Amino acid sequence: MVLLDGRKTSADIKDEIALKVKEFKDSGKKIPHLAAILVGTDGASMTYVSGKVKACELVGFKSTLIELPKETSEEKLLQEIEALNNNDDIDGFIVQLPLPKHIDEQKVLLTVDPDKDVDGFHPTNVGKMALDLPCFLPATPFGILELLERYKVETSGKHVVVIGRSHIVGRPISILMSQKRLAGNATVTLTHSRTKNLKEITLRADIIVAALGKPEFLTGDMVKDGVTIIDVGITRIKDDSKKRGYRIAGDVHFESVAPKSAFITPVPRGVGPMTIAMLLKNTLLACERKQ
């Protein structure tokens, strides 16, 4: 059993990006600049955003954090987005989700200039992804592809079962892995809450991407020997034996699944760290495109 080490791989990618940034600096080129908009003070969102800002510093990017109070009107937020769209120094930016309920998330995402949409959430980027055209891939699926590639996990002709049809993970990874590409050319089955006999299906899978958001859902009896497991879940579970009072669980019951796996991502330190690395990679691409 080989651990797909997202922490190490993301560190490698950050090193590669930092090297690129140094080259840019040395040759007098523009330094990549990522901005993030955070509305409100949700704890998890603040953690995510500060992680992204720190990652920018680490690789030598410029970063700008725009913090808005949770009462911010939709109109005001759209104005901030337009300002970033029109700011030539900003290569890419993200609006941290979820947004307060009085703001229409879809309207916000549609306002982001697709050429600066380094989260890959704008319909134009999603469409280009589905049509296999150059675009910003959404960071989590992009990170999964990168992990599979770097560990040379064979995917061509393999049966991939994706659990969960979310717009940001399940749907895009099901599209990407069935395309003609590295970490692609797989036969992909997309399963979800309406799927019957899920266990029958997962038992036939060569690769399983678990992205449904139910802690420890996938158990050892549901997988065959030699399977490759990508665990996208990340849930806090109350655990009084821990200092901080909780532990982090994935969608996979690691103890029973790992012994049967050829490759498996741990949680934490699997897919999670890859997501930030790929956001940086998208920002680098956005900056390179303009040179």
Q: Which residues bind a copy of itself (CB under 8 A)?
A: 106, 122-133, 156-157, 165, 167, 171-172, 174-175, 178-179, 185-192, 194-196, 201
Would you say 178 or 283 has its CB closer to a copy of itself? 178
Is 119 a known active-site residue?
yes
In the complex, what is the shortest distance from the CB of residue 255 to a copy of itself, in angstroms, rounded to a whole number? 28
Cα(157)–Cα(154) distance, integer angstroms: 9
In the complex, what is the shortest distance from the CB of residue 194 to a copy of itself, in angstroms, rounded to a whole number? 4
Count CB atoms within 10 A of the CB of residue 124: 16
Residue 125 identity: N
Is residue 9 packed enough to be buried (19+ CB in 10 Å), middle (13-18) or exposed (0-12)?
buried
Cα(137)–Cα(9) distance, integer angstroms: 18
Cα(163)–Cα(20) distance, integer angstroms: 36
Q: Which of 5, 14, 20, 52 is catalytic?
A: 52
Would you say 145 or 280 has its CB closer to a copy of itself? 145
In the complex, what is the shortest distance from the CB of residue 127 to a copy of itself, in angstroms, rounded to a whole number? 3
Would you say 175 or 209 has its CB closer to a copy of itself? 175
Is 76 a known active-site residue?
no
Would you say 10 or 178 has its CB closer to a copy of itself? 178
In the complex, what is the shortest distance from the CB of residue 46 to a copy of itself, in angstroms, rounded to a whole number? 27
* Strand pairing report for 235-238 and 246-249: antiparallel
In the complex, what is the shortest distance from the CB of residue 168 to a copy of itself, in angstroms, rounded to a whole number? 10
Q: How many helices (H) and strands (E) does the chain have?
A: 10, 11
Tokens 């990340």 label which residue? Answer: 234
Is residue 183 packed enough to be buried (19+ CB in 10 Å), middle (13-18) or exposed (0-12)?
buried
Would you say 203 or 258 has its CB closer to a copy of itself? 203
Q: Which of 5, 119, 206, 251 is catalytic?
A: 119
In this structure, the dihedral spanned by the alpha carbons of residues 49, 163, 156 and 16, taken in order and rounded to 10 degrees, is: 10
Q: Which of 20, 96, 206, 231 is catalytic?
A: 96
**Residues annotated as part of the active site:** 52, 96, 119
